[in-house]
Structure 1
Amino acid sequence: MSKKEMPSLRLLSRRTFVKQTGMTAVAGVLAPGLVARQAGSTGGYLIANRFETAGTALLQGYMGSRLDQCFQNDILTKNFDHLIGPFRHRTETHRWQSEFWGKCMMASVLAYQYKPDPRLKAKMDAAVTGLIATQTPDGYIGNYNAESRLKQWDIWGMKYCLLGLLDYHDLTGDKKSLYAAVKLADYLMAQIDRQGGIIVNKGNYRGMAASSVLLPMVRLSVATGNRKYRSFAETIVKQWETPGGPQLISKAAVNVAERFPRPKEWYSPEQGQKAYEMMSCYEGLLALYRLTGNETYKQAVVHVFKNIQDTEINIAGSGASAEMWFGGRERQTTPVFHYQETCVTVTWMQLCMALLKLTGEAIYAHAIETTYYNALMAALKSDGFTWAKYTPLNGERLPGSGQCGMELNCCSANGPRGLFAMPGLVAMRSREGIAVNFFAEGTTALTSPAGKPVKLVQTTNYPASGKIAIRLEMQAPEDMVLQLRIPEWSRQTILQVNGVLYKDVVSGIYVNLKRKWNTGDMMLLELDMRGRVKVMGKQSQYFAVLTGPLVLSRDTRFTGTNLGTVITPLKENEPFIDLKKVAIKADDSWLQVEAMFQAENYKEQKDPPVVVTLCDYATAGNGAAASTFQTWMPLIFNAAKLE
């Protein structure tokens, strides 16, 4: 690539570049490796994250086995050449094949960071080379014919290509991928300008699909130091507030399912409740906040998080019907059409991860944990080869079908992005030291505030039990803060530091352990894993059972699971239920417990209580043998108890 083909990397003088970004430039071109570090760190942003990904992690136990299974059977088997085919042909007029390459590349980067397998690196290298080879002289990378450019899902696909190229560049420091992203972004901006300068009238869902390109534009502004990408990003946000736009700022405090009148056609340009695309835009808005410091942007995202959590997110940590917000939290006990699209699940996690990194607040880690252990892992099929597109709370686990004439769909491309995000979140660098966000058997490599290597080792079979041992391995003693998240559901928590009981433990926040830490220091944590009963509804009531972060379900594979039998907890109106762990087969489920219930027999006299086996929701209906499952269980209606 000639210098004439790299205008976006040549516009800034060295002095201006360093002043704006804090990065070093050499001979007018970014110094090798510096952009990769910068794009993933804080120097190019006005607002620093409180938590940052620390280093390599290796997880064991059940979670580690699922990661390994997905790595071998999904990640390593992705056919990138198949995904590049539509970019070579460019005959599309309305479909979204172009998103698949970017999603799979982003997942591959995360998987490679977790397990740097040379086979995967070779696949990624070839995939990037193959995609860049399809780029036209004017910069276009996409699958649409000339007459259909910027319509339907074309810009959406460009967004994922940009994100995939940027992730690969951050991983490798490869300049060609950054230059290709620059040319594509410049092409898009020029075409938008030629067509009137408006992006929110392009594509679908009140412009949310197209304007979600906001996130890679912010990242390009940081990676290149070129302010035109920031300017374009800010223009996108201004256009949101036009009459035809999604009004994501002004309606941030309005219920996400009630922002616009119901359209005549559910999947239509005027539909403003599209869950996945909406959250993608807000993820970009939070990145723009970090770049600009505009508090309005941050507050909008915080409001939306709370609204989605309060009105849409169900017991398993996801939501949406037929891919739209619909006030689903209060409707989750009833069968829901096309429930919990995996793309919605992953994007909800992405939004929560961005908020967790920015704020360091435990509420976002709680949300991630619920989603990861339940909705996300439920979507991964038991063989690790593929993903469900939709995951009901009651019914069957069924695989998704191919889309757009391809072998995969949006969700099977997206699911691994969520799964392989977890290793980098378990323990993270904080401004004052280390933050332990999640509990999993394994190790995380970190760096102390003084820049010294630290290894954090967890020994646990959480969440099968609530006992966690955390040990530090350090080169030298150091004063720092170790933040330890106490889950909001753990009402009775025991924490010991080097054998001494720590008394100031409050559920739902981080415990801040400030001291001089040394190698061999040990924390013993015991969380409250009592079974919990959650009841929803008024006259027609349903109940569900949880333990720790896990939602439990009945499954026809196990004892006492005639799903037509109505069962009731023995202790009425009691928030806790006694659970007894039982031995399980390795391929059956993650966790199995037994509990006593009263079965309705429609006789004058009650029968003795029955034993019912419950398993974790993620593996309910997801075993080697087909089965049906039930998460929300109906409570018997008793007219005599009406008030």
Structure 2
Amino acid sequence: MSRSPSSSDYPQCSYGSTSLPSGSFWGKQTAGVRTTTLAFQLHMLKTTGRYDAFKLKWHPSYDDPPTHWPVPNHLFWDSDVAKWIEGAVYSLAVSEDAAVENAVEELVDMIRGAQQEDGYLNIHFTVVAPEQRWTNVRDLHEMYNAGHLIEAAIAHHNHFGNRRLLDPIVKYVDHIDRKFGPEDGKLHGYPGHPEIELALLRLYGITRDEKHLRLAKYFLIERGNLTGQDGKHFYDWEMKQRGDRENEVPRYYPEKGSYWYQQALTPITQQQTIEGHSVRAMYLYTAVADLVRLDSTLSEEYQVALKRLWRNMVEQKMYETGGIGAVKQWEGFGIDYLLPQATDEGGCYAETCASIGIMMMAERMLAIDPDGDYADAMELALYNTILGSKSLDGKAFTYVNQLASCPNDPSKRDEWFECACCPPNVTRLFATLGGYIWSWREQSPDRIEVTVHLHTAATLRIPTSHGEVVLEQITNYPWDGKVSYRVTAPTEVTVVIKSRIPKWTTIPEKQPYPVVGRKYILEGASEFEVNFDLTPRFVRPHPFTGRDTIAVARGPVVYCVEDADHSWVDDHFKTTYLDPVVSLVEENHTDASTGEAFVRIKSPGGGALLDVDGTMQRTKDTFKERKDLVFVPFYFRGNRGGKGMLRVGLRRLAE
């Protein structure tokens, strides 16, 4: 039995109920996306050829050899445009912008004009290789692009109230449904890059068409079926249909049959550890979590698998910064505890989209299980990897977010990328951030329960049959641990607030309010105040990582050292050790070059420089001198020029 959802069940819709004060931490960040980043990314879409691509004219880049065979470099252009449309529409709901709105509508016109008579809608397979439609769903991203078009169409429909984009996209979904499914005569396949599954579930929330739920469910349940098509794994079957050479494999496969890369080596319920491409994993399991929420007939094994895979990720495969994915070749997970900090130390990828995926999966998991651990991971990824993926001026971005630099991979951002999935993904996340801050439910017409996942200055407005409920968070978090709540509600309505207590803080012995499941339970008054201890702390990776390092953190913010504050460094801090005995000193700081205000942390004399003489076998370490160290937030890195030298975890000086 399927649950009848509302489109407001998703943060991409519920964000409209939350406003962020203009001068607050996230108010400034999201305003920058609206005023600068959207226009800059629109400029990049136009100058790279993406903006006009739905006109279905030839572009010179279509002749370029693929950087990652067999994927053409332009294959994601559909999704780049779709994600920008989505982020733009969310932003228009907050602030009008005629230029952005005109661009959205022009793009919608071009997308409508690009649709084929049978409903098919894809740039590459219409202009470049129409004969190859649906011949390589493992690698060639037709359904990934379709998924992002679906999400853009939902956003457009919700904001403008028309079906100009929704109707052609639903027609495209009808085409896909005619092509794929369990029935005889259909392909028994599923996308190599998950995305359409979560999009179809959101579409179901709009259309109430059981076909959309059924197709999403089929893609998820069929995944990893070893005998799905004519007794073969679907990817093996379609490979034979294409006539691929026996041992020819994609560049990102270490060996033939590496279907764990797509989380398709076995069915989802049988997957014991999280493997493969990290973004694909997050999008896939986000969809599974949403299906668990919607479909009460689904086996309990799916929720068990989700929790098992989540634990494996956060306990054995996640970086201190909330980044995931250590291996560059397949942009994803390595073996348990393989978490090196830099390319020349064994890897570190930590793609921006993967951390956005953590937030997506965590939010869906919270919808079926209100465990604060999901919100902890969401907060960690948001304040560090995701926030740091965009420059302060909103015009440069990261694709990877390594915890340490090296000569071949210095710390830097770029205006754009050949595969530009990350920049517009950041835009659409920031535009909907209000939907991740809290969730609420009406327990009865007279009782509203609000669960706070993220602490930040924000105002939530909830309509009820008795009138509007208004909940304010008043805080300077993450720099100040005091969070005040102010409730304004009709006298007939009781509001219960469940305020998450982060794992990194301590619960005082004399608790100011009842605590249930690491949440303060606040009710019976109009104002409340909670305080979280933001004393700087040292963070160490699991000993099985083989990294005897320590990093500095304060609240949800992880810190790093940069050469901009240490003119003497010339080796990417490889020989800089940190003495944990030396006290950490906090100071409120405003950076002169950027105007960014934050809490800076110093360790006076806490750095010890190792004397390295080239000897491979050493009986003891000797140190040349002591240095003062300055730690700045990881998100702040790379905004002040310098030599691109960075490190989060420094080698630990023996106590």
2:333 is the alignment partner of 1:325 = yes
Per the alignment, residue 401 of structure 2 pairs with: 391
TM-score under structure 2 length normalisation: 0.76
Counterpart of 1:364, as a letter, is Y
Per the alignment, residue 187 of structure 2 pairs with: 198
2:8 is the alignment partner of 1:40 = yes
Per the alignment, residue 549 of structure 1 pairs with: 556
For the 8 Å contact 1:103–1:160, the answer to whether it is kept is yes
For the 8 Å contact 2:564–2:641, the answer to whether it is kept is no
Q: CA deviation digits over 1:488-538, x for unaligned, max 9?
A: 11114599xxxxx725347x72212232x4xxx322222111111122347
Q: Secondary structure at the match of 1:419?
A: helix
Q: CA deviation digits over 1:288-328, x for unaligned, max 9?
A: 22332113333332222222212221110011122121137
For the 8 Å contact 1:592–1:614, the answer to whether it is kept is yes
CA distance change for structure 1 residues 310 and 387 in 2, over 3 Å: closer, same or farther? same
Name which of 63, 77, 83 aligns with 2:50: 83
For the 8 Å contact 2:323–2:401, the answer to whether it is kept is no
For the 8 Å contact 1:429–1:448, the answer to whether it is kept is no
1:575-614 residue pairs with structure 2 within 5 A? 578-585=584-591, 587=594, 590-600=598-608, 610-614=627-631
Name which of 216, 219, 225 aligns with 1:233: 216
CA distance change for structure 1 residues 287 and 451 in 2, over 3 Å: closer, same or farther? farther
Report deviation, 1:545: 1.1
Q: Which moved more, 1:531-540 or 1:309-318?
A: 531-540
2:19 is the alignment partner of 1:57 = yes
Per the alignment, residue 240 of structure 2 pairs with: none
Per the alignment, residue 155 of structure 1 pairs with: 143
Per the alignment, residue 308 of structure 1 pairs with: 313
Q: Secondary structure at the match of 1:67?
A: helix
Report sequence identity in percent.
Answer: 16
Name which of 80, 84, 87 aligns with 1:107: 87
For the 8 Å contact 1:530–1:579, the answer to whether it is kept is no
CA distance change for structure 1 residues 196 and 461 in 2, over 3 Å: closer, same or farther? same
TM-score under structure 1 length normalisation: 0.78
Q: Which moved more, 1:238-247 or 1:227-236?
A: 238-247
Per the alignment, residue 433 of structure 1 pairs with: 449
Q: Secondary structure at the match of 2:164?
A: helix
Inter-partner Cα distance in structure 1 for 2:411 and 2:643 = 8
Per the alignment, residue 346 of structure 1 pairs with: 356
Name which of 104, 112, 130 aligns with 1:132: 112
Per the alignment, residue 498 of structure 1 pairs with: none
For the 8 Å contact 2:37–2:394, the answer to whether it is kept is yes
Q: Secondary structure at the match of 1:425?
A: helix
Counterpart of 1:106, as a letter, is E
* Structure 2 unmatched runs, 5+: 63-70, 234-246, 261-275, 443-447, 612-620
Inter-partner Cα distance in structure 2 for 1:134 and 1:195 = 30
Q: Secondary structure at the match of 1:600?
A: strand
Counterpart of 1:111, as a letter, is S
Inter-partner Cα distance in structure 2 for 1:389 and 1:264 = 25
Per the alignment, residue 171 of structure 1 pairs with: 159
Q: Secondary structure at the match of 1:453?
A: strand
* Structure 1 unmatched runs, 5+: 1-18, 23-36, 43-48, 249-261, 496-500
Per the alignment, residue 280 of structure 2 pairs with: 277
Q: Secondary structure at the match of 1:83?
A: coil
Per the alignment, residue 482 of structure 1 pairs with: 497
2:36 is the alignment partner of 1:73 = yes
Inter-partner Cα distance in structure 2 for 1:505 and 1:440 = 20
Count residues in correspondence: 562
Q: CA deviation digits over 1:544-588, x for unaligned, max 9?
A: 11110011111222258743653333529xxxx533214332526
CA distance change for structure 1 residues 54 and 357 in 2, over 3 Å: closer, same or farther? farther
Inter-partner Cα distance in structure 1 for 2:466 and 2:99 = 32
For the 8 Å contact 1:380–1:386, the answer to whether it is kept is yes
For the 8 Å contact 1:397–1:622, the answer to whether it is kept is no
CA distance change for structure 1 residues 226 and 448 in 2, over 3 Å: closer, same or farther? closer
Q: CA deviation digits over 1:148-181, x for unaligned, max 9?
A: 2123122221121122112222333322322212
For the 8 Å contact 2:577–2:607, the answer to whether it is kept is yes
Inter-partner Cα distance in structure 1 for 2:610 and 2:146 = 61
For the 8 Å contact 1:427–1:438, the answer to whether it is kept is yes
Following TM superposition, the consecutive aligned residue runs of length 4 or more in structure 1 with deviations greater than 6 angstroms are: 19-22, 90-93, 244-248, 601-609
Report deviation, 1:393: 0.6
Report deviation, 1:358: 3.5
Inter-partner Cα distance in structure 2 for 1:634 and 1:594 = 17
For the 8 Å contact 1:318–1:375, the answer to whether it is kept is yes
For the 8 Å contact 1:542–1:632, the answer to whether it is kept is yes
Q: Secondary structure at the match of 2:529?
A: strand
For the 8 Å contact 1:429–1:446, the answer to whether it is kept is no
Report deviation, 1:540: 5.4
Name which of 619, 623, 632 aligns with 2:640: 623
CA distance change for structure 1 residues 373 and 142 in 2, over 3 Å: closer, same or farther? same
CA distance change for structure 1 residues 440 and 117 in 2, over 3 Å: closer, same or farther? farther
Per the alignment, residue 391 of structure 2 pairs with: 381
Report deviation, 1:435: 2.3
CA distance change for structure 1 residues 585 and 477 in 2, over 3 Å: closer, same or farther? farther
Per the alignment, residue 45 of structure 1 pairs with: none
